[in-house]
A = this chain, B = another copy of it.
């Protein structure tokens, strides 16, 4: 019964409002205002701000990243950093992701949402990447997948979301090479 175009307008407004104000300052009034709908329309869909944000965010975040199997560790890593860089370069994502991660530190429900939607997907991706490399003989069998994820995701996240420095194609390629070397050295 609820009109899809209204729902979609609200969804978009939630993202824009999250980026502009952050979760802490986000208000349902502002979301409705930005979406051009009445508060009633929002409350008809969600009981409050938390479930609204959780539903809207998890729907997008759980889409996951598509990471092809290129057949070599080095190319897998190149693919990985390029894909992640493309996502995190999106202005909305670059603004919202760090905000929600910070909020997750004090809100268990948001923490759960991000853990399942973002981290598990990424952990699985990197674990698969490592496993395949081990099977190919490109990495030692005792490579630590936990450490590997930190080495793969950390520098890129730092660069894009924390330091917010420029990221050239050349930089990403060199980063992938460096990560490959780090993985080979980071035995369990």
**Which A residues form the contact surface with B (CB < 8 A)?**
19-25, 94-95, 98-99, 101-103, 105-106, 119, 144, 146-147, 149-151, 153-159, 161-165, 171, 174-175, 177-188
Residues A146 and B158 in contact, CB atoms below 8 Å apart: no
Residue among B99, B158, B179 making CB contact with A158, cutoff 8 Å: B158
Which B residues lie within 8 Å of A24 (CB)?
21-25
Secondary structure dominating the interface of A: helix
Q: Given A24-B24, A94-B105, A181-B184, decide whether A150 and B175 contact each other with a Cβ distance below 8 A.
A: yes
A45 to B105, CA, bound (A): 30
Which B residues lie within 8 Å of A95 (CB)?
105-106
Q: Given A23-B24, A99-B102, decide whether A144 and B184 contact each other with a Cβ distance below 8 A.
A: no
Residues B171 and A177 in contact, CB atoms below 8 Å apart: no
Residues B185 and A180 in contact, CB atoms below 8 Å apart: yes
Q: How far is the CB of A163 from chain B (nearest CB, A)?
A: 6
Which B residues lie within 8 Å of A144 (CB)?
174
Residues A159 and B150 in contact, CB atoms below 8 Å apart: yes
Q: How far is the CB of A124 from chain B (nearest CB, A)?
A: 14
Q: How far is the CB of A98 from chain B (nearest CB, A)?
A: 4
Residues B153 and A158 in contact, CB atoms below 8 Å apart: yes
Which B residues lie within 8 Å of A20 (CB)?
106
